[in-house]
């Protein structure tokens, strides 16, 4: 019982930490701090966190293709962050936050296509639940008094497509980790991720900081103040690193239990914060969005 309780607490606090990223996105709206600012800060925090852990002597062994994967991941983050910014202008945080946190669904599809892994019943149901989550979320777009039903339908379809692209774009990093966790180092019996984990994470975060920081600097978006930029950047960055670190402490506990609790708390905390702190309305579509999102998490972790 004590072990289960500790696993629950670690997984739950990790989820709460990760939810700070979504809250930082929402707080930044009125402060002119855009998601790319937050992503840049997350990259810098990740560089520092993994930079002090890694063996710098191993950097010369890292093959060039890993840097290429890191660049692709960073470009995916740019797409996800720009569409997150656009989506938050059109609707509330909850649907965007669900889209950002259902990336495991794309990993299931990737593993089935690339590695011919069987998709069992619960995973298939998780995919259906994730799709229903996006369908419900498309009805949460802000009402702007559009020109009739046809215009409203087009807006919902566009909003739904934006959420789907966010989901796929934000999944690239998890596909990268999945690939490097399965791809073996030539002449060795360990995967690239197993042998170079801190170094690979350092490269991923560094590339994200460099590329996202470069793009947002060219956009010349001026935050309300430097202090606001630093505070919200640290909220997202520290939340990301704390969430990952606490999740790593859950290694001794059953993965299905840990990831279910973590995923549920991450989605719930971000959604409830949006309701209680930012006045998001709890409509029928809102309940369906959150409900199907959490159901997808539970189903994906059932065996």
Beta bridge partners of 191: 184
Question: Distance (Å, rounded) from C-alpha 259 to C-alpha 168?
Answer: 20
Q: What does the pLDDT look like over 228-249, one tens digit per residue?
A: 999 999 999 999 999 988 988 8
Whether the CB-CB separation of 169 and 77 falls below 8 Å is answered with yes
CA distances from 187 to 45, 183, 190, 191, 192 (A): 34, 12, 9, 11, 12
Q: What does the pLDDT look like over 193-218, one tens digit per residue?
A: 999 999 999 999 999 999 999 999 99
User: What is the reported pLDDT for 2?
Assistant: 43
Whether the CB-CB separation of 71 and 203 falls below 8 Å is answered with no
Q: What is the mean pLDDT of the chain?
A: 89
Q: How many residues does the chain have?
A: 303
Alpha helices by DSSP H, listed for the chain, are: 2-29, 35-51, 64-90, 93-101, 104-114, 121-137, 148-182, 192-219, 226-248, 255-278, 284-300
Whether the CB-CB separation of 286 and 91 falls below 8 Å is answered with no
Q: What does the pLDDT look like over 130-181, one tens digit per residue?
A: 989 988 888 876 654 455 566 677 888 888 899 999 999 999 988 999 889 8
User: What is the reported pLDDT for 147?
Assistant: 54
Question: Distance (Å, rounded) from C-alpha 156 to C-alpha 161?
Answer: 9
CA 291 to chain centre: 18
Query: 3-class DSSP state for residue 184?
Result: strand
* Sequence ranges of the domains in the chain: 2-300
Question: Distance (Å, rounded) from C-alpha 95 to C-alpha 93?
Answer: 6
Tokens of 53: 């852990």
CA atoms within 13 A on the CB side of 129: 21
Q: What does the pLDDT look like over 44-76, one tens digit per residue?
A: 999 999 999 999 999 999 999 999 999 999 999
């Amino acid at each position: 019982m004590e072990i289960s309780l500790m696993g629950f607490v670690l997984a739950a606090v990790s989820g709460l930490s990760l939810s700070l990223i979504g809250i930082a996105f929402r707080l930044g709206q009125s402060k002119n701090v855009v998601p790319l600012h937050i992503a840049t800060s997350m990259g810098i925090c990740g560089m520092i966190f993994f930079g002090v852990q890694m063996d710098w002597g191993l950097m010369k062994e890292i093959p060039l293709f890993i840097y290429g994967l890191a660049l692709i991941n960073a470009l995916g983050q740019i797409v996800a962050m720009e569409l997150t910014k656009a989506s938050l202008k059109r609707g509330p945080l909850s649907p965007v936050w669900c889209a950002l946190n259902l990336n495991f669904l794309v990993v299931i599809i990737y593993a089935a296509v690339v590695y011919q892994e069987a998709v069992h019943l619960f995973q298939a149901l998780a995919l259906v639940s994730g799709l229903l989550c996006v369908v419900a979320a498309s009805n949460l777009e802000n009402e702007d008094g559009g020109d009739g039903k046809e215009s409203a339908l087009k807006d919902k379809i566009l909003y739904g497509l934006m959420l789907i692209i966010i989901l796929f774009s934000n999944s690239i990093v998890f596909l990268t980790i999945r690939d490097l966790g399965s791809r073996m180092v030539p002449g060795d019996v360990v995967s690239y991720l197993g042998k170079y984990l801190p170094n690979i994470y350092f490269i991923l975060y560094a590339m994200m900081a460099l590329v996202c920081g470069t793009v947002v600097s060219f956009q010349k978006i001026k935050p309300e103040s430097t202090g606001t930029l630093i505070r919200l950047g640290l909220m997202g960055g520290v939340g990301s690193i704390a969430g990952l670190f606490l999740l790593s402490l859950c290694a001794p506990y059953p993965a299905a239990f840990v990831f279910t609790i973590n995923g549920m708390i991450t989605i719930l905390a971000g959604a409830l914060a949006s309701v209680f702190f930012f006045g998001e309305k709890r409509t029928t579509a809102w309940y369906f969005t959150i409900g199907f999102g959490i159901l997808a998490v539970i189903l994906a972790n059932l065996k």
